[in-house]
Amino acid sequence: MIEARLRQLSRADLEPLLELERCQPRHWSRSQLETLLQDPDCCVLGAEAGDRFVGHAVVVRLPFEAELQAMLVAPDMRRRGLAAALLEAVAEQSRDWGSERLLLEVRASNEAAIQLYRRAGFSEDGRRRGYYPPLDEAADSNREDAILMSRLP
Ligand SMILES: CC(C)(COP(=O)(O)OP(=O)(O)OC[C@H]1O[C@@H](n2cnc3c(N)ncnc32)[C@H](O)[C@@H]1OP(=O)(O)O)[C@@H](O)C(=O)NCCC(=O)NCCS
């Protein structure tokens, strides 16, 4: 595990968060992130290594459960345990909220994320057929299933 500091992000962290988001093709917009950072039912956790943001996780409080809505680690910082550490911080936040379960959904082709979640104790609850648009919309490919997963916080 790399030395990284995990903390809850605020509106003041918008610019570096946006920069990290932009390392993936389908990234969240400035206004979407701004809304999340100011939502009292949302917790955006960031991982900092030195003076750089290297990962984040977004979890929201639902009436009974919590839902992981996003998880991203900078490409050059992967396979160092950062996502696993962020997931445990997400679980801790869900426990603090008193959530009964921690839910998420993941693209069926996202092997890395599915392995990460299985290893962190998530199990598969079902699928939403054709939930995600193709990753490359220009290519003649089909929509993808979402795999629904959950665990106790
Ligand atoms: C998925 C993602 C968050 C994983 O981040 P990471 O920091 O590299 O993950 P970790 O180092 O904490 O990995 C923990 C475990 O998850 C599994 N895992 C992570 N990446 C994997 C990969 N590419 N292939 C297979 N297993 C993988 C492994 O079991 C790993 O343990 P190990 O390294 O001891 O084998 C990262 O690849 C990413 O940001 N991907 C793009 C965004 C994304 O897909 N987000 C999830 C949306 S649902």
Which pLDDT band holds residue 138 (cuts at 50, 70, 90)?
low
Q: Is the dihedral of CA 117, 118, 119, 121 positive or negative?
A: positive
Q: Using a 6 Å cutoff on CB, does residue 106 contact ligand 1?
A: yes
pLDDT at 32: 96
pLDDT bracket for residue 140 (50, 70, 90): low
Pocket test for ligand 1, best of 72, 73, 116, 122 (most atoms within 8 A of CB): 116
d(CA 132, CA 81): 27
Q: What mean pLDDT comes out for the span 57-65?
A: 98
Q: Give the integer Cα–Cα distance in Å for 91 and 85.
A: 10
Task: Judge if the beta carbon of residue 71 lies within 6 A of ligand 1.
Answer: yes
Q: Which pLDDT score is estimated for 1?
A: 66
Can you tell me the mean pLDDT for 73-85?
A: 97
Q: Is the pLDDT of residue 136 over 80?
A: no
Q: What is the Cα–Cα distance from 66 to 128, expressed in whole angstroms?
A: 19
67 is catalytic: no
Do residues 89 and 56 lie in contact, with contact meaning Cβ atoms separated by under 8 Å?
no
Q: Please, what are the domains in the chain?
A: 5-151 (3.40.630.30)
The answer to whether 53 touches 82, Cβ cutoff 8 Å, is: no
Residue 60 has pLDDT above 80, yes or no: yes
- By CB atoms closer than 10 A (0-12, 13-18, 19+), residue 11 is exposed
Residue 151 CA, ligand 1 centroid: distance in Å: 18
So what's the pLDDT on residue 9? 97
The finding on whether 78 has its CB within 6 A of some atom of ligand 1 is: yes
